[in-house]
Each structure stands twice: as structure tokens, then as C-alpha cells.
Structure 1
Amino acid sequence: MTIRRLPLAALATLSSLSLVLTACSSDDEDASSSAGATASVAGDTGVSVNQASYPVTFTSPWGDSTLEEAPTRIATIGYKDADILASLGEVPVLMGDSTLNQEVWTVDAFAGAEPEKTFTYADDGSIDIEQLAAAEPDLIVASQMDLSDNYDELSKIAPVIAAETEDDISGNWQQTLTSLGEALGKQADAAQVIEDTTQAAATVREEHPEFDGKSISMLNYFGLDTIRYLNAAGTDAAKLMESIGFTTIDGSDGFGSDNISAERLDDTAADVMVILDNSQGQIDDLLSNPTFQAIPAVQEGRVLVIHNKAFDTGESAFTVNDDDEQQKGNLAWALGYPGPLSTQWALETLAPLLKNTVEGTSADDSQ
């Protein structure tokens, strides 16, 4: 039996991710309940010390889930959830093996520890729910997912931290982190992580006034037939760019999760164009496309191409524009699934690249 997710070919699509439960044999009692204290939302922590208090209830559009005692076996099934948990000094009992392979920021935070179990996303993006149940979690973190078809099935295994509102499905790691702080009695730690991440963005914005007011479009490129808009309005990626001074183009929320046809590339025009190249050698098809070339930012050299090596070699590395020197880390992943650790890492890594791009110093590389 499986929980189905978007395939990894859909990396960094920040519209609603959905799980499709095809079968389940769990006979456990439904853990869903409305009793207890509701976990606070991001920005409303209001705590200065860590304090555990149970039961605690986590709300979602699909039901409430109550945690009766401190969890010790937390399973993370979303792409960014291990990152969020690691920011609180915790290691999940179960997570995707792609985290170990691609998220250097999360692995570094584990400080030598490893999860007890990992799972592999299938080619079609499915997750084996039997593996999830076999890990015997006492809390499941499933952020940025539409659980309308299977929230009840997951909550039979363990209480679930999910999106608190439908808007949170498109991205709100702060809400997930705050809920985890409630679950672990680490409210102050969670608030501090949010503050540190906010300050990291503020520092970048202060150091790079050239970003202020510039519009930015980030395209996740797998080939001309598979182009997705990454920083649509309201997504975590859009909020990340806005936090350092960039603006989101009008109408970006209309792109959704659908592929953008080559003929519509001019609709993505912005002052700065960022291409996350996952195409395994097809980048010239985009760079030479007449519609893409007609975008003023492209003509003026304000294009940043980040070549993701994960699909070429399996390495957690990237190269920039025409430079063959590899840099460590999956920057496309960090931008596509930003949590607190990946956000801080991505800001430090991306800021100097964006500076060059805004100044148009990569003109020769992007043509």
C-alpha cells in the first residue's frame, strides 16, 4: 500500500502537494481528537521559555489531531520536514533517503546522528505507508500536503502535524516549526529559529540594497515541455525572495502547478530571471528559444542559470551559468522546499550570485 506524492521530477513545485492513499491495513484507533490546547501559529508564539504541556491538539482543514505526551519517534514524510525538525536539534525516526543525499544543511544539523529508518520515493512519487507504520512513529509531520483523501488514515498511525489552513498547503514552514515546538515543549527554541532565519534575510537585504524593488521570476526547468513557475505569489519561495527585497510579478499566482508552455515564457518576464536547470543537457533549448530571448532581462544579461547536478550525477552539487566548477549542495532543492535551515543556507549561497545577476555581469554566460 502506498501514499502517493508528486514524483521527484516535480521538484520544487510549490503548489499544493497531494497524497493519494491507495490502501491501508492499519487497525489502530483513530488518534484524531479536538481535546487539548491548540498549537499556536507562526508569529504568535508568545513564549520566552521552553515548556511542555500535554495534551496538545494540532488543527488542520481535515480534522484535529491530539498528542497526549512528548513524542520520541517523529516521522517526517514531506520534503522539507526533516529540515524543520533538525532545526530544533531533533533527528526523525523515519525520513526520505533523498534528505541524506541532497540536504547538506539538514545532515550537518544532525551532527553525526542518523535516522533509524529511511524510505525511497518511487518513480511515481509514491510512499509506502507500510514502511511508515513499521517505523512506529508517535508523531507524523506532513507539511505542505493536501491530505483531504488520507488524513484520517495517517492519524490512525499517529497524531499528524499538517497545514493549519488551506493557504498553508502552498507553504508555511513557520507554522510547522511552531507546531513542532509545541509538540516537543521547545516553543522558545522554535521562536528563536524563526527569529534567526528572519534576521538572516534582513541582513542580506541590508547588505544588498540593489535587490530592493526588482522583480524576480524563478523557473524550474526540465525541458521545454516541462517548465514550472517556482515563486508564485504566496509560496515559500516567493516569500523568501520578498524577504530580501525582490518583488513578485503580477499574475504569478495564475501559473499554479501546470507546465508553462514555451509560447508563454514572456508572461514570466521579470527584472531578474533565475533558471533552475534540471534538464540534463537541454538548457540550450531554453536559452535559444526566441520567446525567452525576447525577454528584456535575458537581452540585458540578468539571467542566473543554476545547473542542478542531482539529476546528472546524483551529487548534491550545482554549477552556475557556464562555469564548470561545482559547488556543494542542492540549491534547487533548497529554493524549492525552503525550511529554516535550507533558507539560511540558500540565502548565504544565493546572495552573491543574485548580486552579479542584478548587475548584469552574467550577460555572456546566459546568452
Structure 2
Amino acid sequence: MLSVTFATVAGFALTACGNNDGDAGSGPGAEGGHAEPNAFPVTIDHKFGSTTIEQAPSRIAAVGIGDADVLLALGLTPVLVPVWKGSTDDGIGVWADSSLHGAEPTPLANATTEFDLETIAAAAPDLIIAVNNAIDEELYQQLSGIAPTVLHAADHTDWVLPWQEVTTRIGAAVGLPAQATSEVRRVQDLITSARAENPQFDGKSAALVIRWSDGKLRVFSPEAARAQLLTQLGFMAPPALKDRFAGKLNYELSAENYDLLECDYLLFDNYEKARAEMEAQPSFTNLAVVESGRLISLDPIVSDAVSMPNPLTIPFVLEDFVAKLNQAIAAR
């Protein structure tokens, strides 16, 4: 639960700041020396107004999912990182291990639901990055009582954020706008190169699906975070599904309409977890894409990474996708 009031949090934050002398800060930027010239002060507009950051932060708390990866890609280790329900319990994916420097960040449990504000306050941040999260106005005011807080843009929707804009937004907030732009360019160049090196992907259809706890499948829109990389590699949505998303992130499928999934390649999020149930359904196993060996199983780590595209996860997922897709093509 969000277990402390705004006033309590503000008071706790002041106490925590006084009790953290000598604690590790944000890696190479612990003394604020990481900032580019003339980067501060900076004002970041967001969905609940704007936040002005007067000087380079030294203790950055990441609350948005994947926001910590952006900080790590920029050479900054946050003092707090969000934890999701997946392949790790400390908020640092394997794709980010080599970018972590200094003290281990404090994990923030239940980051996508009802996280504890007191944990954030205890980390004594001087900047809170909560871009990729569903923060309402009341929660924003509570977070702002702890430290200046940066959210996503007003014209963007929770959980549907362009990773490029997330990266440059966070980069501006921490005083590294040019480096953030360079990171975006580097990753986009990787994707462009992968597409150019794999012309066999162009014009083919592919879908990424997940089995929800209710037993139904959900196939992701080509614009959804999980499927964006397939789109950028040249794949199209399955023909029977291309007009069914209607602006939604995903489309729900029951066993009666699994045939809508027929495509050239079917990628299944965390497939081993769902394998027994799926293999017990003839409507799934009889799909041509499954029978012909064009079902691609994503392991739990890749499944986590694909859900939060950013400068660290995209290269990691890209390597896995390209290898597995080409294995499926070779097998045919």
C-alpha cells in the first residue's frame, strides 16, 4: 500500500537526508560532475505540469520500469530501482549488470502497483525519475514532497511511451542531453543494421503473444512496446489481426479464435511457463505456424527485457530475436 501521507513522507525525507552522509551516490555522477556544460537549470514539462531541476543530481531514484536502465546506459547508478514480477528480484536485469557501478541500489518492491513511498524517502534522493509508470496526480504530489520528480509527457499514455523520448527526457533531467541523444542514435543504428542484414524479414508476418493468468492469450499490437522491435525489423502483423487492434495495446484471443494468429512466425512470451496448457489445446497445436516449427519460445529474461524497451534492453532482445528467427528460417 501507499502507506504514508504526504506530510509524513516529506518529514521522513528530511530525516533520511540527514542520515545518509557518506552513502554512495549515483556512480560516476555522485558529485554532480557528470553534467554537460549549461545543462542546468532545466525545466521538464510533464503530464502534471513541470519540474525544474536546479543542479546536477547526485542521488537519483528510479521509479519507472526501465528508467533505471536508461540511467545506467548514461553511466549513472541510481540509489533506488523498481522491481517487477519477473526474472529478477533486485530490479537489475542481466542486460544491465555490466553497467552497474558502486553500491547496489535499493530495490523498490511492487513498483507497478502499490509501492511504498517510505522506501523511496529512505533512499534520500535529490531527483526521482518516474517516467515509465502510471503515476496519478496525488501520487505525483507525494513523490514531489520527497524530491523533484520527472514524469512522462502530457500527450503520452501510461505504459505506451516511445523509448527514444523516454531516453532523451531522462537525459535532460540528469544533465546529459547530448549523451542521451547519442544513445538513441546508437541503438537506432543497431536496429537499422539488423534490418539491413536480414532482408528475409521484410514483408513477413509475425506476432508476439502472452498467456495471461486468466488462461487467454493476448497478442500485442505492432505499436505496443513488446512488439515494436518486430515492426522495426520489417515484420507485419498477422493478416487476420491487422485491423483488430483499433488503438489498443493488445487483442484478446480465446481458443475459438486462435486461427487469427496464423502468420509466418509466432513469438511466445515466457513460453515454458505456458507450454503444458498450450500443448493441451488442439486449436493451438494445430496452427500451421506451430506445426511447422515457426513457434519461437522467449525465455523469462528476454520476456522481461522485451516489455521495457530502452538502450540496454533493445540490443539484448535484438540479438535474441534475430538469432531465433534465423534458426526458425533455417529449420524450414
Which amino acid in the other structure matches residue 133 of structure 2? M
Whether the 8 Å contact between 2:72 and 2:96 is mirrored in structure 1 is yes
How far apart, in 2, do the equivalents of 1:273 and 1:258 lie? 15
Cα-to-partner distance string for 1:55-113 (whole Å, 9 max, x where unaligned): 21222222222212111111111221111110100000111354746611211111x43
Q: Does 1:139 align with 2:127?
A: yes
Report what 1:2 is aligned to: 2
- CA displacement at 1:278 relative to structure 2: 5.6
- Unaligned 5+ segments in structure 1 are 4-21, 29-48, 309-329, 363-367
- Unaligned 5+ segments in structure 2 are 12-34
Moved more, 143-152 or 208-217: 143-152
Report what 2:303 is aligned to: 332
How far apart, in 1, do the equivalents of 2:122 and 2:211 lie? 36
Cα-to-partner distance string for 1:252-285 (whole Å, 9 max, x where unaligned): 35654685433333334332100112663x4132
How far apart, in 2, do the equivalents of 1:253 and 1:300 lie? 30
Moved over 6 A (4+): none
From 96, 112, 117, the equivalent of 1:106 is 96
Report what 2:268 is aligned to: 275
Whether the 8 Å contact between 1:269 and 1:295 is mirrored in structure 2 is yes
Report what 1:225 is aligned to: 215
- CA displacement at 1:157 relative to structure 2: 1.8
**Relative to structure 1, is the Cα distance of residues 257 and 210 closer, same or farther in structure 2, using a 3 angstrom cutoff?**
closer
Whether the 8 Å contact between 1:89 and 1:109 is mirrored in structure 2 is yes
Whether the 8 Å contact between 2:245 and 2:251 is mirrored in structure 1 is no
**Counterparts of 1:350-365 in structure 2 under 5 Å?**
350-357=321-328, 359=329, 361=331
Equivalent residues, number: 298
**Counterparts of 1:22-61 in structure 2 under 5 Å?**
23-24=5-6, 25-27=8-10, 50-61=36-47
Q: Does 1:126 align with 2:122?
A: no
Q: Does 1:93 align with 2:64?
A: no
**Relative to structure 1, is the Cα distance of residues 194 and 254 closer, same or farther in structure 2, using a 3 angstrom cutoff?**
closer
Report what 2:150 is aligned to: 161
Whether the 8 Å contact between 2:81 and 2:92 is mirrored in structure 1 is no
User: Percent same amino acid at aligned positions?
Assistant: 27
Whether the 8 Å contact between 1:275 and 1:304 is mirrored in structure 2 is yes
Cα-to-partner distance string for 1:156-200 (whole Å, 9 max, x where unaligned): 222222211343531222212112221232122111111110111
**Relative to structure 1, is the Cα distance of residues 159 and 278 closer, same or farther in structure 2, using a 3 angstrom cutoff?**
farther
Moved more, 248-257 or 209-218: 248-257
**Relative to structure 1, is the Cα distance of residues 284 and 167 closer, same or farther in structure 2, using a 3 angstrom cutoff?**
same
**Relative to structure 1, is the Cα distance of residues 109 and 270 closer, same or farther in structure 2, using a 3 angstrom cutoff?**
same
TM-score by length of 1: 0.72
Moved more, 80-89 or 142-151: 142-151
Q: Secondary structure at the residue paired with 1:236?
A: coil
Report what 1:207 is aligned to: 197
Report what 1:192 is aligned to: 182
**Relative to structure 1, is the Cα distance of residues 243 and 56 closer, same or farther in structure 2, using a 3 angstrom cutoff?**
same
